[in-house]
Amino acid sequence: MSAAVTRLLYLHGFRSSPQSAKARLTAAWVAQHFPLVEWWCPQLPPSPRDAMALVLDRVSAWPAATSGVIGSSLGGFYATAVAERLGWRAALLNPAVDPARDLAKYIGETTAWHSQERFFFRPEFIAELRAIAPETLTRMARYHAVIAQGDEVLSWVEMTGRYVGCDLALIEGGDHAISDYARYLPGVMAFFGLTR
């Protein structure tokens, strides 16, 4: 069994923020039950290249054996890239499989979910997403995925196909936001060795 994580990174999805329901619920759970775990949930810039640079710079000294990453939607795509580059364990919440394809329709000005802030999703961001995507996934045991069959944004079939062989919590029904995330949070934390 792997050692429990002592550092935990949370990566939010497209147009989301550290104020998302899942990010706040996870942060509160960690603070309550494992207050010594270092928690970091950054506001990611719109540029995928800048987002990855921000993350990789900040966690460069985190040891792989005791570091973990949780990623939701686009954050799940980023979390997969982090896991493959750094050898971390990763928990993925309805992870985006091909955001370069899916986000092309959002090129232009758009808004964030949790504020009135507007930002531009630029055409060059599509190439940046392609550059980040791991060609293949290694060591599927490093992944835990929570995937909702009722996801109205992403294909659960595509998600489960991408993460074949990983530890999987498949939700019958559900939605993209995983509105009943509190039910699955203990399993996510147990995957990182954090059990109450």
pLDDT digits (tens, 9 = 90+) for 5-17: 999 999 999 988 8
Q: Render pLDDT for 105-126 as a digit per residue (tens, 0 to 9).
A: 888 887 766 566 777 788 999 9
Strands 89-93 and 7-11: unpaired
- 108-111 and 118-121: which strand pairing? antiparallel
Radius of gyration, CA atoms only, the chain: 16
| Tens-place pLDDT, residues 53-70 | 999 999 999 999 999 999
What letter represents residue 190's amino acid?
A: A
pLDDT 10s digits, 117-156: 777 788 999 999 999 999 999 999 999 999 999 999 999 9
When the pLDDT of each residue in the chain is averaged and rounded to a whole number, the result is 94
Residue 40 pLDDT more than 80? yes
Q: 183: pLDDT confidence band, cut at 50, 70 and 90?
A: very high
| Residue appearing with tokens 């196909």 | 161
* Three-class secondary structure of residue 143 per DSSP: strand
How far is 131 from 125, CA to CA, in rounded Å?
A: 10
Q: Which helix (H) or strand (E) holds 147?
A: strand 143-148
> Quick one: average pLDDT of 168-187?
96
88 pLDDT tier (thresholds 50, 70, 90)? very high
Q: In this structure, is the dihedral angle defined by the CA atoms of residues 28, 31, 37 and 38, taken in order, positive or negative?
A: positive
Dihedral over alpha carbons 23, 121, 125, 17 (to 10 degrees): -10
Q: How far apart are CA 149 and CA 171, in angstroms?
A: 6
pLDDT value at residue 112: 67
- Residues 106, 4: Cα–Cα separation, whole Å: 38
Mean pLDDT within 23-32: 98
Confidence of residue 192 (pLDDT cuts 50, 70, 90): very high
Q: Contact at 8 Å (CB) between 41 and 61?
A: no
What is the structure's pLDDT at 114? 59
Among residues 71, 89, 95, the alpha carbon closest in space to that of 158 is found at 95
**Residue 163 has which token pair?**
């993460």
Domains of the chain (ranges; CATH) run 7-191 (3.40.50.1820)
